[in-house]
Structure formats: C-alpha cells, structure tokens
Structure 1
C-alpha cells in the first residue's frame, strides 16, 4: 500500500494529530478534504452562525492553499447543517462570499442533528492543478 499523501494547513497539524484524522489527502489528481467546521485554532467553535460558516470556509481555504488549489478547483461540495430549516438562508448568504462564479461545483446538503458542538460543516473534492505536487 502506498503511503497517504496528506496535506496539512499551516499551524493546525497538532489539532489533526490529536483528533487522529487527515485534513486532506491527494490521490490520482484529486484532493479529498475532510469536513471543515468553524473551529478556532484551539479546536473550539467560533461564536455565531455566520462567523462559524466564514471560519469553516477560511479553514477549508487554508487546506486548499496548502495543496496548491483554490475554491475554483473544487468540483464537489457536501455541507452538513444542524437544523437547516431555520439556518439555511443565513448560511447560504455567507456562501456567496466564497462560492465564486458559474460554473459552480456540485452540491449536496444534508440536515443533521449533531456536529460535535458546531452548526455547519463543509467537505469538498478538488481537482489538483497540473502544476500541484501529487
């Protein structure tokens, strides 16, 4: 078996090591990013829904950048939302700050009852640029 080609964002490897998972794995020209929440550097939740969503995107973008990507390289998005019936519109308004222009990535939204103290999580698959190290 080949060793996993793990991507760590700057300054957060200890948090991922503590929680025993990889933030992202490069494989066959793609980047598979673990679900990102609005966690502060110590792992605690950002306060407020919109701030939490912005922080989740910031955490996601740090991983994409570490892999030589941007959100423009994202081809598939899955979001998990606690109580989407009351939170979707507020979350979707923040998406516009990060989503970019058409053509958009695919999107799957899932309503959940629990996210370990968070209200929102975003998981993506990105196509690695041809110049990125595989």
Structure 2
C-alpha cells in the first residue's frame, strides 16, 4: 500500500495545524481533499453566499494545485449545504462554470445544520495526472 503524503496549499498551514488535519492526503495516484469552505485569509466566512461558494472553490483549487492536479482531475465531489433548497441553484451555476464539460465527476449533495459558521463546504477525490505522477 502506498504511503500517505500530506499536502498543503501555500499560506493556509495555520488553519490545518490548529485543527490537526491535512488539507489533502495523496495515496498512490489518488488525492483525498478535506472539506473546503469559503473562508477568507483571516478564517472568516465570505458573507455573500455566492462569494462563499466561489471562495470555497478557490481554496479547493489551491489544494489541488499543491497535489499537481486541477479541477479536470476530480472524480468524486461531496458538497454540504445548510439550506440546500435555497442554495442549490447558486452552487450548480458556479460548479457548472468551473467544472466545465463532460464527463462530470460523481456528485453527492448533503443538507446539514452546521458548518462552523459557513453555509457551504466541498470535498473531493481527484486522480493525479500521469505527468504529475512522474514529476
């Protein structure tokens, strides 16, 4: 079994150290990204929901880049929503804009009552592209 390799994007180590988890774990050619929220640099949530979703995706992209991946390498997505009925159209619009053309990754959307002050969270599994594996 391949060893686990912890991955961190630049400038966000304190968040992960404080809460004692890794931004992502690479195992073989798979990257398991921890849930990303729409947090500003100071850790506070973006107040406007669409901005929070966009910031969560931006934070996700930074973690994927640290792993040598991009959005096109995602194979599985799980999103968490505090008010799915009111939020899903916005999430789908941003997701469609950023994730591009088919084939789309798997997607599971989950309604929840608490996300530590946030309204949206996204976690993914990605496959490391061949060129990044040999680098």
**How does the TM-score come out when normalised to structure 1?**
0.93
Over 6 Å off, 4+ runs: none
Matched length: 134
- SS of 1:132's partner is helix
CA-CA distance at 1:43 after TM superposition: 1.3
Deviations 1:57-92 (A, max 9, x none): 000000101111000000000000111011111221
Name the counterpart of 2:132: 132
Partner of 2:19: 19
CA contact (8 A) 2:3 2:28 kept: no
Aligned twin of 1:54:
54
Q: Do 1:8 and 1:63's aligned partners in 2 also have CA atoms closer than 8 Å?
A: yes
Gap regions ≥5 residues in structure 2: none
Task: Flag structure 1 segments of 5+ consecutive residues without an equivalent.
Answer: none
Cα distance between partner residues in 2 of 1:2 and 1:97: 34
Counterpart for residue 71 of structure 1: 71
Residue 31 of structure 1 deviates from its aligned partner by 0.3
SS in 1 for 2:132: coil
Q: Is the 8 A contact 1:49 1:91 kept in 2?
A: no
